[in-house]
Amino acid sequence: MSTVIHIEQLSKSFVRNDREIAVLQNVNLDIESGSFVVLAGPSGCGKTTLLNIVAGLLPPGSGTVYYKGAPISGPRLEVGYLTQKDTLMPWRTVERNVEMPLEIRGVPATERRRRAAEFIRLVGLQGFEKLYPHELSGGMLRRASLARMLVTLPETLLMDEPFGALDAQLRLELQNELLSLWSRQRSSVLFVTHDLEEAIILGDRVVVLGTGGHIIADELVTLPRPRDAFHIRFRPDFTNLHRRLWDALMESRLQVQRQEVKL
Amino acid sequence: MSLVNQFRSEQPRPVLVGPSTLVRQAQQRKQRQQWLIYGSRLLLVVGVLLFWQLASGTILDSSFLSNPLAIVRQTIAWLSDGDPWYESTLIINTAVTLEETLLGLFFGVASGLLLGFLFGLQPTLERIFNPFIIALNSIPKIALAPLFILWLGIEIPMKVVLAAVTVFFLIFLNTLNGVRNVDQHLVDAVRLMGGRRRDVVFKVILPSATGSVLTGLHVAIPYALIGAIVAEQIGANRGIGYLIQSSGESFNAAGIFAALLVLTLIAGLLNAVVNLIDHKTSHWKAGLKLSSADQS
C-alpha cells in the first residue's frame, strides 16, 4: 500500500497574549492509502490543528505535510473534510447544501440534482430535501454534512469529532453507518476523536496525541471487520487495547504535570 | 439494510388525531379573542370620533382641535380643487413627498450597500474610516438641513439628500455589520469545497449579510419618510410636510389634521411594503435570531 498523507517533523505554535504556545511538536505520521486511522487524545492537544493543516486551511509552523508526495499548500479537491461544527449554509435547503460543492466545481444542474439526491438517500435523509438546517435535528444535520462531503467522491476523508455533540445512541447509529459506508468505498480516513472507545471501534490504527502535542502511542487495531459499534466493546482484545491506550494517555499527562511542577 | 430502519427512530412523527374537541375549543377561543380585539378597536375609533365631533365648540375649542367633519370637508376640498383632478392640492403634495421619500431611499440604500460591502470586505479601510463615520453618524441629520438648503435650495433635491443621508447610515452600518459577522466556519467550508474568493463573496458573504441588510431596510423605510417630511417643514413650498407647516401658520387646524391623515396613510403603505419584504425573506431564518441595529 502506498502512503497518502505523509507528515514530517510537523510543529505549530500560536501566539496568544504575547506568549507562544506550542500546539504540535515534531509530529511524524504516515497514513496508508485505504486505511482508517484514528487520531485520539485529550481536548486541547492539537488534534484539530493537525487536521486543519492536513486540510490545507492552516499553514504548518515548521515541517511539511505531503499529499501523495506533493506538499500541501491549500485545500485539495480530492480531500473531504467533515468539521466538528456544522457548516451547512442556513439559507440553503438540505438539497441545495449537498449540491453546493458540485456547484462550485461547475457540474451542470441536472447532474448536480441527481447526485445530491443519491447521497441524500445514502445517508437516510430522503423526504427531508426541502428542509432548512434550522429545521433539522442534530443527527440529521450531521447526516446532511456527511452527504455534502461525500457527494464529490473524495478519495481521502478528514473527520474532526463528527459525532462528538450527539447523544450516545445516535453516536452508535452513526458510527455503524460510517463503518458500513467506508466498507463499501474504502477511502483513506483520518478521524479525530477524544473518545478512545470510538477510536478503537472505527480504526485500523489508533494514534494517540498527548497533551504536549506529540505522539505518545501508535497501535494497530486487529479487531475483525465488519464490526458492530455496540457489541465490539465486550471483546477481550478490545478491552486490552483500550487499557493500553488509556495508560499511555495517563502516563503522558503525569509527565506533563511533573514538568510543570519542575518549572 | 438494517441501518435504514435505525434512521426512522430519529425522524419526527407527529401524532395526528383529526379534528378533536380540544382543537375545536382552541379554535373557538382564538376566534372569540379576535372578535373582541377588532370590535374594541372599532368601538374606540367610533367613540373618539363621536366625542370629538359632539364636544367640538362646547368643551373643546374647535380653532385648536378642529373636528372630524371639518377635517373631512378640508380633505374633500383639497382633493377637488384641481383641474384636471390629479392637480388637486392633496395629490400634488402627496406625489412630491412620495417622490422625495423613494428617491432618498434609493440613493441611500444604493450608497449604503456599496460602501457597506466595500468596507466589510476591506477591514483595514474600515478601521481607518471608523472614527469619522461614527462622528458623522452621531450628528442628528436634521441639523444638516440648513447646509443642504444653502447648497441645493429648497426644491426636491434638498429633501432627497436629507432622506438619503438618514437612510445611508442605517443601511451602511447594518450591511457592514452583516458582512463582518459572517461565520468564518462557513467561509472555510467553501474554501474546502475548492471555492475561490468570488464563491466566498457570492455564496457565503452576500446571502449571510442579507438578513442584516433587510433589518436595516426595515428601519430605513420609515426614516426616509421622516427625513423628507422634516426637510419639507424646514424649507419648502410643496409636500405634505409643507402642507402641515402652512396650515399651522394660517391657523387651519383642520388642514393640519387632514395632512396628518394623509401622512399616516403613506406611512401605513410603506410599512406594508416592509412587512412584505420581511415575509418574503424570513423562510430560512425562522429559527434564527435577528440582529437589529436600531438607531434614532
The answer to whether residues B98 and B168 belong to one domain is: yes
* Interface contact flag, B192 A57, Cβ < 8 Å: yes
Task: Compare CB distances from A124 to B4, B188, B195 and report the shortest one's residue.
Answer: B4
Task: Compare CB distances from B193 to A104, A128, A139 and report the shortest one's residue.
Answer: A104
Judge whether B71 lies within some domain.
no
- pTM of the entire predicted model: 0.78
Judge whether B67 lies within some domain.
no
Q: Any idea where the domains of chain A sit in the sequence?
A: 1-78+158-163+188-244, 79-154
By the 8 A CB rule, do B266 and B240 touch? yes
The answer to whether residues B237 and B129 belong to one domain is: yes
Predicted confidence (pLDDT) at residue B20 exceeds the cutoff of 60: yes
By the 8 A CB rule, do B136 and B275 touch? no
Task: Compare CB distances from B284 to A91, A105, A137 and report the shortest one's residue.
Answer: A91
* Interface contact flag, A104 B203, Cβ < 8 Å: yes
By the 8 A CB rule, do B89 and B82 touch? yes
B21 at the A interface (CB within 8 A)?
no
Residues of B in contact with A132 (CB under 8 A): 283-284, 286
Residue of B nearest to A81 (CA): B192
B4 at the A interface (CB within 8 A)?
yes
Mean pLDDT of A180-205: 91
Classify A1-78+158-163+188-244 by CATH class. Answer: alpha beta
The answer to whether residues B88 and B193 belong to one domain is: yes
Residue of A nearest to B284 (CA): A91
The answer to whether residues B219 and B94 belong to one domain is: yes
The answer to whether residues B47 and B88 belong to one domain is: no
Residue B210 CA to residue B283 CA, distance in Å, equals 13
Domain with residue B245: its CATH number is 1.10.3720.10
Model pLDDT, residue A191: 95
The answer to whether residues B45 and B144 belong to one domain is: no
Judge whether B286 lies within some domain.
no
Chain B contact probe: residue of A76, A84, A87 with most B CBs at under 10 A: A87
* Interface contact flag, A83 B185, Cβ < 8 Å: yes
Mean pLDDT of B92-98: 93
Identify the H or E element spanning B77.
Answer: helix B68-79
Model pLDDT, residue B162: 93
C-alpha cell at B239: 409636500
The answer to whether residues B217 and B98 belong to one domain is: yes
State how far the alpha carbon of B45 is from the alpha carbons of B40, B41, B49, B50, B169, in Å. Answer: 9, 6, 6, 8, 37
List residues in chain A touching B: CB distance below 8 A. 55, 57, 74-75, 77, 80-81, 83, 85, 87, 89-92, 100-101, 103-105, 124, 127-128, 132, 134-135, 137, 139-140, 152, 170, 173, 176-177, 180
φ/ψ region of A69 (left if φ > 0, alpha if ψ in -120 to 50, else beta) reads left
The answer to whether residues B46 and B82 belong to one domain is: no
The answer to whether residues B221 and B162 belong to one domain is: yes
DSSP result, B197-252: HHHHIIIIIHHHHHHHHHHHHHHHHHHHHHHHHHHHHHS-SSSHHHHHHHHHHTT-
Judge whether B263 lies within some domain.
yes
* Interface contact flag, B3 A75, Cβ < 8 Å: no
Residue B6 CA to residue A172 CA, distance in Å, equals 10
Helix spans in A7-83 (H) = 47-55
Predicted confidence (pLDDT) at residue B290 exceeds the cutoff of 50: no
pLDDT per residue as tens digits for the range A45-75 = 889 999 999 999 999 999 999 999 999 999 9
Judge whether B288 lies within some domain.
no
By the 8 A CB rule, do B98 and B266 touch? yes
Window from A204-213, B86-95, B286-295 with minimum mean pLDDT: B286-295
Residues of B in contact with A170 (CB under 8 A): 10
Mean pLDDT of A108-137: 93
The answer to whether residues B190 and B83 belong to one domain is: yes
**Domain interval for residue B225:** 78-281
C-alpha cell at B148: 443642504
Task: Compare CB distances from B192 to A81, A92, A137 and report the shortest one's residue.
Answer: A81
Predicted confidence (pLDDT) at residue A192 exceeds the cutoff of 90: yes
Residue A77 CA to residue B183 CA, distance in Å, equals 22
Percent of chain B's residues with pLDDT above 90: 59
Model pLDDT, residue B289: 42
B14 at the A interface (CB within 8 A)?
no
Residue A58 CA to residue A52 CA, distance in Å, equals 6
Q: For chain A, give the mean pLDDT.
A: 90
The answer to whether residues B127 and B268 belong to one domain is: yes
Model pLDDT, residue A1: 63
The answer to whether residues B230 and B101 belong to one domain is: yes
Percent of chain A's residues with pLDDT above 70: 99
Domain count, chain B: 2
* Interface contact flag, A89 B204, Cβ < 8 Å: yes
Residue of B nearest to A99 (CA): B193
Residue B231 CA to residue B157 CA, distance in Å, equals 10
